[in-house]
Amino acid sequence: MNNQRRDTLKAGGSLGMLGLLAAVGLIKPEMAQAAWNKDAFDAKDMDAALAAVGAGKPAESAEISITAPDIAENGAVVPVGVVSKLPKTEYIAIMIEKNPAMLAASFTLPEGTAADVQTRVKMGQTSNVFAVVKADGKFYMTKKEVKVTLGGCGG
């Protein structure tokens, strides 16, 4: 039996517990946000976002796929998924080119975990959605254009 999923769920639950402990004052908020990559989430352009996650200039890869609607009727809630078929995938980031802050989500994957993430993001306007994947110590990426008909990031 593979306990990776169970261990991952336990770790996710402990992140919620960190927030609770911070709320009641048992730990400082800085301790709860130790894994937060502030520079990456504050990046305003692609080069800064890639540098903040340590990606440099990732190679294009057909082994990464993005699932997102071609047309999003509501930019406030756009479902986006990324699947990596690259062996030893350890990190996945979702970046939205025309958002005020490019990095929308990042996921660190424990060894042996399926490289398949799903989330919802806000998109202020029609934009390219990039998936940046770190696999076996190297970075790769792919992109997909998503058209937004109703704004989400301030519209």
> Does residue 82 have a pLDDT over 90?
yes
Q: Which pLDDT score, from 0 to 100, does residue 31 have?
A: 47
Which whole number is the average pLDDT over 72-93?
95
pLDDT digits 0-9 by tens, 7-46: 554 554 444 554 555 555 554 555 444 456 788 888 888 8
- Provide CB contacts within 8 A for 5, sequence distance 6+: 113
Query: In the CATH scheme, what is the code of domain 37-148?
Result: 2.60.40.2470
Domain ranges of the chain: 1-36, 37-148
Q: Which pLDDT score, from 0 to 100, does residue 24 have?
A: 56
**Environment class of 58 (CB within 10 Å of its CB; exposed 0-12, middle 13-18, buried 19+):** buried
Q: By mean pLDDT, which of 9-18, 57-66, 73-82, 117-126 is the weakest?
A: 9-18
pLDDT digits 0-9 by tens, 106-149: 999 999 899 999 999 999 899 999 999 999 999 999 999 999 98
